[in-house]
Amino acid sequence: MNKLAPSILAADFAALGEDVKKVENAGAQYLHIDVMDGAFVPSLSLGFPVIESIRRNSIMVFDVHLMICDPDRYIQAFADAGADIITVHAEACTHLNRTVAAIKEAGVKAGVALNPATPLSALEYILEDLDLVLLMTVNPGFGGQKYIESCTRKIQELRRMIDGRGLETDLEVDGGIKLNNVQKVLDAGANVIVAGSAVFSGDAQKNVEDFLKILDAK
Ligand code: DX5
Ligand code: ZN
């Protein structure tokens, strides 16, 4: 089943609880939470207190995307804060198997993210251990960027890799996904769709409903 993961990076942080409720009530299954450290990516975003606060009022699957260096330091803390899925960047981990094992030991699902220019071969020997692969379709660090077209082929190739190995791994895409290009990434093989600005600019409830119509149709 396809899933929508609205990214709260584009929400109104002065009304974050309400924005989360809006997308939850409209039927979004995942909540995408972007954590940035100002080192792996240029920007800073949010951390534990924010996640703990919204956790108390939401039953959505918390999909925590760590854009941070050396994430091993914080795996347990993000699990305790309420993450259901923790995704780390392959580019940010020196010992990726160890990090993935630590995520699972913390009792949450494990994801690995790849920047647009990172080849799929980075997953060759770890794919079987993952619950989710996140393909960045922009360079991480900011919302509202334009989808990088060469990523479509990468999504297709990863879908072939997952299916070819008989796996159930979620294939998530993140960056520049809008109502007018989501069909393309679904067709390429993605099944978890992150959308930030396309959900939270304007009427979030209607935007989620419009996305879900396209996602469910597949
Ligand atoms: C970018 C983040 C994304 C971002 C997506 O570094 O990982 O999750 O919020 O925003 P849009 O959908 O606006 O590109
Ligand atoms: Zn993200």
Q: For residues 66 and 93, is the Cβ–Cβ distance under 8 A?
A: no
Query: Which residue among 174, 177, 180, 193 is best mutated to probe the pocket of ligand 1, counting the most ligand atoms within 8 A of its Cβ?
Result: 174
Single-letter residue type at 88? V
Nearest CA among 75, 24, 6, 27 for reference residue 213: 27
Q: What φ, ψ does residue 47 adopt, rounded to 5°? A: -145, -150
Using 50, 70 and 90 to split pLDDT, how confident is the model at 198?
very high
The predicted structure's pLDDT at residue 177: 98
pLDDT of res. 218: 46
Q: How far is the CA of 193 from the centre of ligand 1 (A)?
A: 11
The CATH fold of domain 3-217: TIM Barrel (3.20.20)
Region 184-193 average pLDDT: 98
CA-nearest residue for atom 6, ligand 1, is: 140
Specify the pLDDT at position 119: 98
Q: What residue ranges line ligand 1, CB within 6 angstroms?
A: 7, 9-10, 32, 34, 65, 138, 140-145, 174-177, 194-198
Percent with pLDDT over 90 in the chain: 98
pLDDT over 70 for what percent of the chain? 99
- pTM exceeding the 0.85 threshold for the entire prediction: yes
Q: Which ligand is nearest to the CA of 134?
A: 2
At residue 217, the pLDDT reads 64
Could you read off the pLDDT of 80-113 as tens digits, one per residue? 999 999 999 999 999 999 999 999 999 999 999 9
User: What is the average pLDDT score of the chain?
Assistant: 97
**34 belongs to the catalytic site:** yes
- Which spans in the chain are helix H? 16-25, 48-55, 75-81, 96-105, 151-164, 182-188, 197-200, 204-216
Domain extents in the chain: 3-217
The CA distance from 61 to 87, in Å, is: 13
Residue 141 Cα to ligand 1 middle (Å) = 8
Which of 19, 37, 63, 174 is flagged as catalytic? 174
Q: What is the pLDDT of residues 22-56, one digit of tens each?
A: 999 999 999 999 999 999 999 999 999 999 999 99
Average pLDDT over residues 10-32: 98
The answer to whether residue 19 is catalytic is no
